[in-house]
């Protein structure tokens, strides 16, 4: 109040303010400067937050079968669009369970159509968004040089051969391996040679690369990942009941459907397919059918209700 009164006194009594008036006004001027400074800061803070908020990110839950190509694809996509893609890898069933529990994720990219069917049935993905990214061929994978001379599926049943497969209850290739053994009536014989299970594609591949087992039943493309440590032994066409593919779909939990769809579209575009081809994946159905002309493609296989883990 003293400042206000002093200002009024100066204004009334003097045509030109005295030095005392300027002294009295100084604190008020400082306060106005402080107010303006605070207002400016309040304006700038939201602006900088918006800039940061405009950085788009999406998350994909992926089966490990697509790992090397998916990692490169996400990197190239980010360079082209500025959209960061976070990738989670594990068994397809494990990834589906995580999405259900967390109710999160923008894309689901399992290692086979079996788990995509489950995702559709459980309303985890938008069925109309499903796309085929690449095709997969089941095969026998052995140590480099094939020291046990495994030439066929029946050789995997030989006494003394140590075999690894992925867990059929949570990993796509484990499900396919069980189906192939059942289809060829080799469950008892090969089952007795199974010494370990892998909980993801990458872990089952490492079993051969580290010489922990003599052979695994996996995807042909695994041999392209580590050609210096792994060789492929092809199954006879008539021994393959189904060919597989890597599907992708937009999740019903997505918070950014446009960005998720853009990444999926990129993966099936010529640029995306070039990346997958580089890593040994098969792009077309006609090329995949060369390995098993009469096999079914896609669909779903369910483990028997009496299923019990195979092995010693």
The length of the chain is 312
Distance CA 292, CA 289 (A): 5
Q: Which two tokens stand for residue 73?
A: 């694809």
Predicted confidence (pLDDT) per residue in 273-293, tens digit: 999 999 999 999 999 999 999
Q: Is 110 exposed, middle or buried (0-12, 13-18, 19+ CB in 10 A)?
A: buried
Backbone φ and ψ of 53, nearest 5°: -65, -20
Mean pLDDT of the chain: 85
41 pLDDT above the threshold of 80: no
* Confidence band, pLDDT 50/70/90 cuts, at residue 31: low
Sign of the Cα pseudo-torsion (87, 88, 90, 95, in order): negative
Q: Is 76 exposed, middle or buried (0-12, 13-18, 19+ CB in 10 A)?
A: middle
- Write down the pLDDT at residue 11: 38
Where in the chain are all domains bearing CATH 3.40.190.10? 57-135+244-297, 137-239
Q: What is the largest CA-CA distance in the chain?
A: 116
- Write down the pLDDT at residue 204: 87
Task: Give the up-direction half-sphere exposure of residue 84: CA atoms within 13 A in the CB hemisphere.
Answer: 6
- Write down the pLDDT at residue 183: 96
CA angle 65/71/76 to nearest 5° reads 140
Q: Which residue has the higher pLDDT, 310 or 250?
A: 250
Backbone φ and ψ of 85, nearest 5°: -110, 115
* Confidence band, pLDDT 50/70/90 cuts, at residue 296: very high
Q: Evaluate whether 216 touches 156 at the Cβ level (below 8 Å).
A: no
Q: What percent of the chain has pLDDT over 70?
A: 82
Query: What crossing angle do the helices spanning 67-81 and 270-278 adopt, rounded to 10°?
Result: 150
pTM, two decimals, is: 0.78
Q: Which CATH class is domain 57-135+244-297?
A: alpha beta
Q: Which residue has the higher pLDDT, 2 or 299?
A: 299
Cα 46 to chain centroid distance, Å, stands at 33
Q: Over the range 78-103, which residues count as b (16 or more CB within 10 Å of their CB) and which as e?
A: eeeeebebebebbbbbbbbeebeeee
| Fold of the domain built from segment(s) 137-239 | D-Maltodextrin-Binding Protein; domain 2 (3.40.190)
Predicted confidence (pLDDT) per residue in 142-185, tens digit: 999 999 999 999 999 999 999 999 999 988 899 999 999 999 99
- Write down the pLDDT at residue 33: 54
Predicted confidence (pLDDT) per residue in 81-109, tens digit: 999 999 999 989 999 999 999 999 999 99
* Confidence band, pLDDT 50/70/90 cuts, at residue 29: low
Rounded to an integer, the average pLDDT of 16-33 is 46
């Amino acid at each position: 109040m003293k400042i206000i009164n002093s200002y009024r006194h100066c204004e009334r009594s003097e045509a030109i303010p005295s030095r005392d008036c300027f002294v009295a006004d100084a604190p008020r001027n400082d306060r106005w400067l402080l107010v303006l400074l605070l207002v400016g800061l309040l304006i700038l803070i939201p602006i900088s937050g918006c800039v940061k908020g405009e950085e788009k990110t999406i998350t994909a839950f992926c089966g490990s079968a697509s790992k090397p190509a998916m990692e490169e694809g996400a990197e190239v996509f980010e360079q082209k669009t500025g959209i960061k893609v976070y990738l989670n890898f594990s068994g397809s069933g494990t990834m589906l369970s995580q999405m259900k529990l967390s109710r999160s994720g923008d894309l689901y990219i399992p290692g086979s159509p079996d788990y995509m069917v489950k995702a559709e049935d459980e309303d985890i993905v938008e069925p109309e968004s499903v796309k085929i990214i690449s095709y997969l061929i089941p095969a026998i994978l052995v140590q480099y040089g094939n020291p046990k001379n495994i030439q066929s599926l029946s050789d995997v049943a030989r006494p003394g051969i140590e075999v690894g497969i992925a867990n059929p209850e949570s990993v796509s290739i484990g499900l396919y391996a069980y189906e192939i053994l059942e289809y060829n009536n080799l469950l008892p014989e090969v089952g007795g040679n199974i010494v370990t299970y892998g909980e993801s594609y990458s872990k089952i591949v490492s079993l051969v690369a580290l010489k922990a087992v003599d052979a695994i039943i996996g995807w042909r493309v695994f041999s392209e990942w580590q050609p210096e440590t792994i060789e492929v032994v092809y199954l006879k066409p008539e021994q393959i009941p189904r060919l597989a593919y890597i599907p992708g779909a937009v999740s019903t939990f997505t918070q950014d459907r446009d960005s998720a769809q853009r990444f999926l579209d990129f993966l099936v575009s010529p640029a995306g397919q070039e990346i997958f081809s580089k890593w040994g994946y098969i792009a077309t159905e006609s090329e995949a059918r060369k390995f098993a002309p009469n096999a079914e493609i896609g669909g779903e296989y369910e483990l028997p209700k009496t299923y019990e883990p195979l092995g010693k």
